[in-house]
Amino acid sequence: MDAQQQKTFVGIVLIVLLGSAACCGLTVAVGALFGYQEAQQTAASGGRDAGTGRTARAIVPEGDDDEKDDTAQRERFADEILAGLADAGHTEYVYQADQYDLVTDGGALISLANLYEEYADKDAIGRREFVERTVRGFFPAEVPTEWDEAAPHLVATVRDRIFVELLAIRSDTPLDVLQRPLSDDLVELVVYDGADSMQFVNEAHLEAWARNADEVFLQGRKQLAARSKDTFNSPSPGVYESPWEDNHDIGRALLFETLRRLKVKGEPVIFLPQRDHLLVTGANDAAGLEAVAELVSERLSLPRANTGRGWRLTRQGLVPFIPSPDDDILNVLRAEALAANANEQKKALDEKFEREGTDIFVGTTLFTDDDDGKQTSYCVWTKGAVTLMPKADFVVFIDLDEPEPDRVVAAGPWDDVVKKVGAKVSLEDGYWPARYKVSVFPDARTIKAIGLHHFFTRNKDAAE
C-alpha cells in the first residue's frame, strides 16, 4: 500500500480524541451538571439516511462567514460519505448531526470528526479520492485464513490504552481485539495491513491460522522491524523524528533497541503525537526537551492527532514521562492529554448509561489557573447527584440549592478532600482512567473543614 495513503480502521468504532476539553472557571462546572439534567429530558434528534438522503439537517448557526463555511463543508462531507455508502449498497446508515456520526439500527457507528479533519486538509481532487478510499476501507476484503498468505501483512502497532478501553465501553459484546500491555497506559496490537485499510487481529484470526498470540505478536514485530531500516531525521540537535509516515510510525515505540541506539542524553524520552510522527530526545537534555515540546505541539494540530504526553524508555521498558516543574509546555501537554482521556471516557460512558437507562452523572476534568498562571485540574462533586468523578488536582463542591453566587461551597486538593470525606469516596472497579463514585454530599462540618481554596475564591469572585 502507498505509504501516503490514509487508511481506515474497520470493524472498530473510530475514536475521536477531544484534544483539550478543559475549561477555566467555575461557571462551566456548574453548567456541566445543568447540561446533564437537560440532556435527560431532551429527545434524540432525527437524522439523514444513506438510502433516501432525507434529513433533519442541522441549522447553520449565525456567526462569521468562516464558521458558516466550515459548518456547510462538514455537512457536505457527511453527504458525500452517505452517497458513497449508498453507491456501495449500504443504505442502512443514518446521519446524526449533533454527534457528527453515522449509525445503523444494528449499532454500527462511523464517527466522522477525525475523517473530516483529513478531508478538509486536501484539495478538491484529493477530497474525492479520500471519500472513495474511505468508503472502500469501511468494507475491505476479508483477512486471509491461510497463515502463509496473511503473515507478510501482519504489523505490530501501539495505541494508548484509552483506545481499547473506549472500544470496550462502546461494544455490546466482550472486546475481541488481540492486545497486550506495553505499559500501564499503552497497549500493543497487531493489524492486517491491507490495500485500503488496516484491520485489527482478533482471536478468530488466531484460530483460523492455528497460531497462538505470542507467534502473532512476534510476526508483527518482525514485519515492523523490516519496514524500519531508514535513518531517523534530526530536526534539531538531540531530537529525532521518524521518517516513514506510513501509518506505522507510532508503532516504532516497540523497537526498543533501535531507539536506544539514538544518541541522546540520558534515557530516551518518546512522544507519539500523531500516527505518522514519533519523536525522541533525552531525559537529561533540557534543550532537546524544549525543542521536542514545540514539535509535539505542532504535530498535534495534524489530523489523527494522538497524545501530547511522553514515555521514558528504561531498562524495564516504557514508563510515563513526568516533566520537571520548569517544563511548562510539556506539563500542559501532559495535563491536557490526561484530561482528554478522562473526558472521552466520560463521553463513552454517558452514551453507555443512556442506552442502559442508568441514572448516574459522569464527571468532567476541568482546568483553572494557579497563582503562577499555570493550569491545574479539578473535578466537581455536586450535591444530590450520584457521580463518577475523575481524579484531579482539586475537588470543587457545588450545592445547587444555594443562590447562584454561593453554589460553590468548598474546594480543596484531592488528597486533602479524600482524607476528610473518608468512605464517601470509593474507587470503582473496571474503569481506566480511574473513576471514583460519590453519592452522599459531605455534611456542613466537613465542608467547612475543606474550605474554599483561593484559586476558586478568585474565580468565584470573577464569575460574580
pLDDT > 90 in the chain, percent: 70
Q: In Å, how far are 57, 94, 276, 373 from 9, measured between CA atoms?
A: 28, 20, 15, 40
Banded pLDDT at 64 (limits 50, 70, 90): low
pLDDT > 70 in the chain, percent: 84
Angle (CA) 49 55 61, round 5°: 135
Mean pLDDT value of segment 114-143: 89
Q: pLDDT digits over 296-334, tens only?
A: 999 999 988 999 999 999 999 999 999 999 999 999 999
Q: What's the predicted TM-score (pTM) here? A: 0.78
Q: pLDDT digits over 384-428, tens only?
A: 999 999 999 999 999 999 998 899 999 999 999 999 999 999 999
Return the pLDDT at 459: 53
254 Cβ contact partners less than 8 Å away, ≥ 6 residues apart: 156, 158, 182, 188, 221, 224
Beta bridge partners of 25: none
Q: Residue for cell digits 532537546?
A: 288
pLDDT above 60 (res 87): yes
More confident residue, 138 or 397: 397
Return the pLDDT at 370: 85
Task: Break the chain into its structural domains and give their ranges.
Answer: 46-138, 147-222, 233-321, 338-463
Residue 7's φ and ψ, nearest 5 degrees, are: -100, 150
Of the candidate ranges 15-19, 289-293, 408-412, the one whose mean pLDDT is the lowest: 15-19
pLDDT above 80 (res 58): no
Classify residue 320 by burial, with Cβ atoms within 10 Å: 0-12, 13-18, 19+. Answer: middle
Mean pLDDT estimate for the chain: 85
Return the pLDDT at 52: 38
What is the distance between the alpha carbons of residues 447 and 185, in angstroms, rounded to a whole number?
Answer: 34
Which three three-digit cell numbers place residue 199?
484491520
Return the pLDDT at 161: 97
Return the pLDDT at 51: 45
Q: By the 8 A CB rule, do 321 and 269 touch?
A: yes
Q: By the 8 A CB rule, do 442 and 424 touch?
A: yes
Q: In Å, how far are 50, 254, 280, 307, 313 from 258, measured between CA atoms?
A: 47, 9, 11, 22, 11
